[in-house]
Amino acid sequence: MDGPHSASWNMAMDAAMLDAAGMGLAPATVRIYTWDEAAVTVGLHQDVGAGIDAAWCASEGIPVVRRPTGGRGILHGTDLTVSIAARIEALPSDCRSVIESYRYLSAGFVDALGSLGLDGRMGECERRELGGGDCFAARSLADVVTVAGRKLIGSAQRRQGGALLQQSSIRYRRPAVAVADVFRGPVEEGSYPLENVPVEQLTRSLARSFAGLFGTEPEKPVGPSGWEEERCATLIRTFAPLSPGSNG
């Protein structure tokens, strides 16, 4: 497991992983990581002013940064985040469209949850209220939900250079910050069926499942390559916290 790191560093490293995959410098990579403080990431094209109370976040010292992927806002800090970077051609030929790639990668999460005794399944598309900022307030085909229909994992992708980056946030432990203070519009307080699972057990289950998905053996965790570290350092300014009133 990687982390904890700042929001800017986490987003820059994920972007560096995508660049490395696109250039053929890295195999399919799964990064499981945490955050060094409460933070909010917003989608690449999300209207921050319409969905996020950025002034309140600033007053509480909670950075708001843009992700390299799409979607809506996520409150981080007590979640577990999983980012996957891979060449699209590394996926089975019938799993390379956007929706099918979500389904294929989500199978790794569903398998890991099953090994922990939880029944996860793909979400279904719902109408989203205009202006709502909370990613977890609506379910989509990109998400994993519990048997009761509560959203447990929210995912978003970006594709470039023949590669994809999928960033997925797992609701792990309850945040100290109220989501209703962060987001405008409807919010989902959520349930936390994983909160009593030790993080080592959760990360092992995820690593085993994704190793199986990509047809590899689970390996001892390794850190980013030197090239990815240098690329992250170059990109980190791109993911600097947004100032209140800015739409980035």
Residue 240 confidence (pLDDT): 97
Question: How far is C-alpha 122 from the chain's CA centre?
Answer: 16
CA angle 72, 77, 79 (to 5 degrees): 70
Residue 22's identity, in one-letter code, is: G
SS3 category, 164:
strand
Residue 4's identity, in one-letter code, is: P
| Axis-axis angle for helices 98-115, 199-213 (nearest 10) | 130
Q: What is the pLDDT of residues 204-238, one digit of tens each?
A: 999 999 999 988 776 667 789 999 999 999 999 99
Tokens of 133: 């900022």
Determine phi and psi for 14, rounding to 5 degrees.
-60, -40
CB 115 within 8 A of CB 197: no
Question: Which residues form the catalytic set?
Answer: 135
What is the side-by-side order of every strand in the sheet holding 29-35?
2-5, 29-35, 80-87, 163-170, 151-160, 144-146, 120-122
Q: 120 forms bridges with which residues in the sheet?
A: 146
Tokens of 1: 């497991």
Closest CA to 166 of 98, 65, 239: 98
Q: What is the pLDDT of residues 106-142, one digit of tens each?
A: 999 999 999 999 999 887 766 555 568 999 998 888 8
Residue 170 confidence (pLDDT): 97
Domains of the chain by residue range: 2-239
Residue 148 confidence (pLDDT): 86
Cis peptide leading into residue 4 (ω within 30°): yes
Which CATH number is 2-239 given?
3.30.930.10
Q: What is the pLDDT of residues 41-100, one digit of tens each?
A: 999 999 999 999 999 999 999 999 999 999 999 999 999 999 999 999 999 999 999 999
